[in-house]
Amino acid sequence: MTEQSNIRKLLCSPDLGLIPHIERCLNDWLGTFASQENIFQLDPFDLELGNCHTHRSTNGQKPIVTQSVSLKFMLTGIVEDKLKLFLLASELQNLIDTKIIDWSAMERRQYDIHGIPLRQPITKIEGKINYELATDPSNTCYITLHRQFDLAYAANF
DSSP-derived secondary structure for 39-90: -EEEPPPEEEEEEEEEE--TT-PPPEEEEEEEEEEEEEEEGGGHHHHHHHHH
Phi, psi values for residue 45, rounded to 5°: -80, 160
Beta bridge mates, 140:
78
Measured at the CA of 127, the angle between CA 123 and CA 128, to 5 degrees, comes to: 150
Question: What is the predicted pLDDT for the residue at 157?
Answer: 59
Measured at the CA of 45, the angle between CA 39 and CA 49, to 5 degrees, comes to: 155
Rounded to an integer, the average pLDDT of 89-103 is: 94
The Cβ of residue 70 has, within 10 Å, a number of other Cβ atoms equal to 15
- What is the reported pTM? 0.85
Model confidence at 1, pLDDT cuts 50, 70, 90, reads very low
Phi, psi values for residue 28, rounded to 5°: -65, -45
Sign of CA dihedral 18, 21, 27, 30: negative
Rounded to an integer, the average pLDDT of 67-75 is: 95
Does pLDDT of 112 surpass 80? no
Sign of CA dihedral 47, 48, 51, 57: positive
Question: What is the predicted pLDDT for the residue at 60?
Answer: 64
Helix/strand/coil percent split, the chain, to 5: 35, 35, 30
Closest CA to 144 of 93, 53, 60, 73: 73
